[in-house]
Structure 1
Amino acid sequence: MRDMHDAAHFAVPARDLDEAVEFYVFGLGAKLARRYADRVTFDFFGDQLVCHLSDDIPAEAVMYPRHFGLSFARAEDFDRLVRVVEHRKLRVLAGPAVRFEGTAEQHRTIALADPSNNVIEFKNYDDPRLQY
């Protein structure tokens, strides 16, 4: 099973690698791991995100059915991300908001779009056992 040295791998299309670096590194605070002519790899909050140069870019940012993101275990980490998003004026698709209010699955969420219309959702569940 996964341990602290393993990383999930996500790959998404990017129309421009400089835009991807600007958004993920200087916007969200991810770490640049590697860069090549056709792709860029980030340490995305402990997991691996690769943006591949592509002409097949979604025409618009649509949350469903395809998005990726992170569920924060700690509320203060979610709050910190929201402050960064607001301060850096990143493109927000939805939120911050509370979903499933009054249920066991209540959580806060914010959905962003990167420059290539990939959708990233960040969450924080009231009950941390539900983040999986």
Structure 2
Amino acid sequence: MIPPFHIAIPVHNLEACRTFYKDVLLCEEGRSSDHWVDFNFFGHQLVIHYKPKPEEDLHTNSVDGKNVPVPHYGVVFPWNEFHALADSLKQKEIDFIIEPYIRFEGLVGEQATMFFYDPAGNALEFKAFKDRNQLFAK
């Protein structure tokens, strides 16, 4: 079994992000204070911490001709769950950075992926592998 990871991210709008993670991504809220909130992020611990909004520019790298935001974080889902989540996010009118699409179709490492921002501008990537055993395949 893979142990859960812990990630802490900065947010400049704690309440907007709290609503996003609870109501859009359906993450269960855990402990909290005036400056941070814990979430069950698909079996992992995500903590949003208040930090004033930075003035830095967004950086991206080109992947498949798309501008992938750096840094980003996310979760690898089972294939069918990814597609159900993608449909749910579309219904909630999420503004995708990169719309859900399939990479390496028919090849080793075939995967579905999508990118979007939380209300604080943190980039999230959710993906799924057609064959989960190829997660680290070369």
Unaligned runs of 5+ in 1: none
Write the deviation string for residues 48-70 of structure 1: whole angstroms up to 9, x where unpaired.
00111001446548544311101
Answer yes or no: is 1:123 the counterpart of 2:127: yes
Are the counterparts in 1 of residues 103 and 111 from structure 2 also a CA contact under 8 Å?
Answer: yes
Separation in structure 2 between the aligned mates of residue 48 and residue 7 of structure 1, nearest angstrom: 7
Residue in structure 2 matching 1:52, options 39, 49, 54 = 49
Please show how residues 48-87 of structure 1 align to structure 2 within 5 Å.
48-57=45-54, 59-60=57-58, 62=60, 63-72=68-77, 74-87=78-91
Separation in structure 2 between the aligned mates of residue 112 and residue 49 of structure 1, nearest angstrom: 17
Are the counterparts in 1 of residues 11 and 120 from structure 2 also a CA contact under 8 Å?
Answer: yes
TM-score, normalized by length of structure 1? Answer: 0.86
Matched to 1:38, the amino acid is H
Are the counterparts in 2 of residues 38 and 52 from structure 1 also a CA contact under 8 Å?
Answer: yes
TM-score, normalized by length of structure 2? Answer: 0.83
Please show how residues 1-132 of structure 1 align to structure 2 within 5 Å.
3=1, 6-57=3-54, 59-60=57-58, 62=60, 63-72=68-77, 74-131=78-135
Alignment: residue pair count? 128
Higher strand share goes to which structure?
A: 2
- Cα deviation for residue 104 of structure 1 reads 0.2
Matched to 1:70, the amino acid is V
Percent of counterpart pairs with the same letter?
27
- Cα deviation for residue 106 of structure 1 reads 1.4
- Aligned-residue RMSD, C-alpha: 1.9
Unaligned runs of 5+ in 2: 61-67
